Every structure is written in structure tokens, then in C-alpha cells.
Structure 1
């Protein structure tokens, strides 16, 4: 994707880009983490349906995003694609609350929702999640548009920090709306509206320069992008240090996605927190991640993306061990707020920077598409956690996440941020 250096590092485009992190984290926190798993558990009486819906939508997104990133490189229309996928996500998220009314059904009280209602709610969630995940590749493509290489870590950190600030603002509003109406479905409407409204700055203030040979989307061009993607994958197979990053990121993001989806459920069912108490922990995590996300951006620019990634994943491992070993709030809460929040924020901040370190300038979208595959297909942990929680309890489910995390850290340790060669035209 072409960029002009004179347009980089300006405050307004940086603010507009970072505000999209603020916006999309509202969806992730309100829908994926705070309300949809609890909502579906109330309707269906089990967690596995949510885990399966998450897994299927992420796999579909994983198959889509590599070619989407390559098409964005060739057409120069990343911002346009970002708008339409954002709109689809917001609409589908709001529709979850239309598809199912949790005031009418309560599986624990012996009145589960009919199968058709469950399917409709899960379908809306699947579409919203697919659109959300696909939008991220177009958003990431715009980072080199607004920031020069020496500032990309800090700008990425600003985005992640603002994202968690969005959680701090959105979660209490959503909880208030739920309390006022007596129905969790209200939270999905709040999330859809807040996501779209908060995303507007990126569309107003970020302007990408199109490539000199910009093309329209045609079958021939898509076929060319598939061939180019094949060349890139073959080169990556021989560039083992870069390949190790993608494999390691796949495994570690698997853990991150599971933690994002199941943290509140674990706090309520595995650690004995009330609904209000668990929401308070999530808000506290978001405040902490707002600060630590910007700190991780600075650390990434100073130490490099690989070291920052290892520090972030190590923090997550420590948090999992402590949370599984004890329920003492004076131990668990500080650990979550410092190591859990810092680890979650750091994985996103340093991961983006690593991709920009290795991607040829004209293939930024394609490499972010491959990076997206490692994120979107990292969903087996979500289903594994749900199945383990149903079978052996939440503490065992949490400990099970250590296996992919440790293996992922081993691959990251073997990686190296070296620039890949360009694919043939």
C-alpha cells in the first residue's frame, strides 16, 4: 500500500486512526467478553454453543483475510472496505438483541430458548464477529499511512490504549442500559451504535494515497493476488525466523482470544465473583490496559517487537498461573490488572510492529492478511476452554491454556524481525 512520508506523524490522522481501536474494542468488550457468553448461557444453559459460533466465524474470517489484505494493497481502497465491514458488524451486533429476548427465557429456571431463537442469535453473532475480524486487516493497513516506522510502536500503543479506554466508557453505559431495561439484549444495541459512532474519525481524518497502478477488483486481479499470496507463502517457508513469528503468534493469540471471551465467565463461575464484581474487574483491566498499552508502545520502539512480544506473553503466563492457583482477591486482582492487562495490550501492540518490520512496503496489506490468519484461526482455545469448563470446571480450563502459550513463546523466541523480499508481480 503506497504512502507518502509527508502525510505521516500528523496529530489529526493519528488521532483518527487510534480512535478506531477505541471503537472496535467496544464491540470486543461489550459483545464478545461481557455479555454474549452470559446471554447465551442464560438462553441455552451451556457454553459450548458460544465457543462453536466463535470458532466457525473466526475460521471463515481466517480464510478470507489473506486475500482481502492483498486486494487492499492492489486497489488502495482499504478505508472503503473498512467502512463497509464496520457497518456490517455494527448492524449484526445490534440485531442479536432483536433475535432473542433474555427476559422471556432462562435455561436455569427450566425455560430455555427454542432452537430457532438460539440459531438466530448465534447467526447474528457469527456475522458480527466475521465482519469485525475482517475489518481489522484493513484497519492495520492504515498504520503506515499515519505513522513513520520509528513511531509506529507508539502509535499502535496509543490505539490499544484508547481501545481499553473505550471499554471503560462503554461497559458502564451498557450495564446501566441493561439495568434500566432488565434485559441483556439492550447491551448489543448500545455496542452497535457506540462502535459506529466512535469509528467515524478514521473515515474523516485518515487519507491513504492510492498506489500508482491502482486496479479495480476483477476476477483476474483476485486470481493474481492468490498467486502472489502463494509466492509469499513459499518464501515464508524458507524464511524460517519470520515463519516462527507467524506460528508463535497463532498459538499465543489462541490464548488471548480465549481469555478475551471467557474472562468474565471465569470470574463469575470459577472464582465466585458477582455480575457487578466481575464487571468491575473488567473495567479495572481496561483502565490498566489503557496505561500499559501506551507503555508497551514505547517499550516496543525501544526494545524491538520480538522482545516486547516475549515480555507480553510471559506476563499472560504468570497471570494464568496465579489466577488458577488462588482465589484470594488481594493476589488475583493486582495480578490481573498488571500482568493480564499488560500482556493482552502488549500482544497487539508488538504484533503489529513486527509485521511492519518484516513486510515489504508494497505488501503491507498482504502481510497483515497473513497476520490476520494467525489471529482468526486462533480460536481452538475458545472451544477448548468451553469444553473443559463444561467437563472439568473453569480452573482446569484456565490451566489448559498454558500449553499453547508456552509452545507459542518457544516459536516467538526463535523468530527474527527481518524484512522479507517482495513477491513477483
Structure 2
């Protein structure tokens, strides 16, 4: 039963769909997938084309709108929008340490989560499309980041359901292994560190002081998590967003207080760090992260903690060595490491499950390169120059390998340009689609 809500400027309607856990076994176990329909209040009864929003991630739930804000305002000019909580997230059947414990041990949990990649998300979307639009109905796609990866999978599996696609910061490398991804990523992250320290030179010493303290004495976070030196470095995830460098700087500014026994890390700092590092609200991001690159034609042996292995090729990220010299301590980026399943209470119960997924070989391919080469669905993509999360070279290679793609390269925005630019990024892509640019 659908439930409608009226918010300033928009009307939202809840939808819940039953879908197979394994689409190869449609009569097997079923799970729920939730989606929120959004339409402008003034156009509630209009016959508008649908736009499916595919959220970044993996493991990210769709935005919770409070009105026609940001990119949504532009989308609602022309569309009825569906915000999908991809399987395992948000109001869809959840997958986290609490719910997965009911499925049995790590092996059973890993087998279950193997059905939570882009191919399953796309097949969910196809069932939903047919339920809402009918067998012959087509909708537009908007894929942000990982949602762009899902868009490429959609065009590989079911292009007949798509009218047009918009991709922001999400043209994945079709033939890039997990090792390739991280081998390209570490130098980009190093450049983001250099930009941050150029902007805030005082942070070089501030970070070294915190790092030296944590090397001797890891701190306990409010949720019981452990802030080690390596965990502190993981705050570099912030450096890939438009305001992330500033957020990091202001967090560092309040790192210390004078306690009863001398200087100590402040509660304010530790709470702020926890807010950035905890995976309690999105554990699938950590558990499934490297699996989004797994394809049997590219990585036949599996991903095997690629970010951890490849890191050894970039000694500049060795914080202990930096402390022994006068080099700046570098933050890492969008990397998931096995030790995170020891320091984060939300991930600890999933450690063996994550190991099994990292060891899993023979992941099915996510992209049909021949079908994509012959693609006739119009695709309009924003490629962010030196995007910390998605390699620009990979994105351009994919733009050239997929048929009917037009792209716009910009360094005006970082990876979160769709969200922070208001209407600008999506409007430009839509004007490209109308032939105005």
C-alpha cells in the first residue's frame, strides 16, 4: 500500500516492492526494496516521464528530501523522480551486523551479500519499472558515482528500459581491475593531500602531532571504536568533496584540550572523527566496496584486499616513516582496508564475511562491452577532472568505448558536484540532452 506525504513544494509517495534475492531463482527467497516517488506539488497529477535516481555507494540509501532542493529541483521541472533505496539500504530489507547475524555464519552471510552488487540492483530496477510504467514504459536514469557504475550495468543488461541516462562522476573503467583502480587512485589522493596542505600549511604540523600521539597511544572513540594512526589517515576520504578540505581543517583545529594530566584529544574531535569514520549507517560500503570492481574477465582470482596490497607500492602513505622524517603525514582516500573490520564496532562482527568476499573468485561480469559499444541510448556524463574517487582517464576511456555518449569535463566541481552545485550540473547535462549545448 502506497503512502503519500505533502512537503513544501513536493509530494512524496512510498513504494515497497518484493523482489527475488537471487534473480536467477525468481521463485526463491524474496526481499523488499523501497523507493520514494517525488513529484512537484504543482504537477502532482501530470503525466510526467519518470527519472530513476541511482545513488552513490555501494551501500548508500537515497537522499531524504525535505523540499525541491539541489539537483532534485531541476529534475522535478520535467520528471516524476524515483529515489531508490538500493537493496540492503535504508527502508529496503536491511543488511548489517544485526540482520546478517540471523542468516548464520560468515559463509552464509557472504553468499547472501554476493547478491547485492550492481547486476542485482539493475534487475530490481527492471521489476520496479515494469510495475510502475508497464512492460513497454521507459524511464530516464540519473547515476551519481556508484550509481553511474549501475547505469553502465543497466545499459549492459536492459537498455530497452531506458530512454536516456545522465551520469555524474560515475563512468567506471570497463576493464579496470581492482588493482588498476587503486594503482591510479593513490597518486590522485596524494595530489589532494598536497592541495590541502597548500591551502592550510599549518595542518602539516597539526597532523604530525596527532599522528605521533596515536602512534604511541590509540584513542577510544565514543562508540567504542579504536582511533589508530591508520584510522586517522582514513579521514582523507573527505578530501574528494568540494568542502571536505575545509571540514578536515576545522576538525583538526579542535583536536586538543588541556586535561588533568596535560594535553589530550578532545571529545569534540573524537566525536567528529567518529562521525566521519564509523560505518554504522552504511556498512555495505565497507563490506562490498572492492566487489564493485570484481569481474571474472578482469579479476578472475577476486579482489583480495587490493587497496591494502597496492598501498605498499606507495611508501609516501607510510605514516610511521613520515614521522621518522620531516615528510608530511598523508591521508588516504576511498580505500577499504581489512583492519577497519577490527577498529569499527559496526564492522567487527562482519570481519570474516568481508574476508570471504575479498577471497571470492569468478565474480560475474558487470559490463557487456560489446553491447555497450553498440549502445543507442543517449548518455550525457559529467566527468570531474582529477576526481579523487573515479579515475578521469578511466572515465574518458569508457566515454569513448560506449556508444552514444556525450561528456563534459570540468574542474569547477569535485565528486559531489551534483549535490553541491544546486541545479547547475544536472541542468547542463539536460541541456546537452536537448541539443542546446
- The TM-score bracket by the shorter chain reads under 0.3
Higher helix share: 1
Larger Rg belongs to = 2
Larger relative contact order, structure 1 or 2 (CA cutoff 8 Å, min sep 6)? 1
Higher strand share: 2
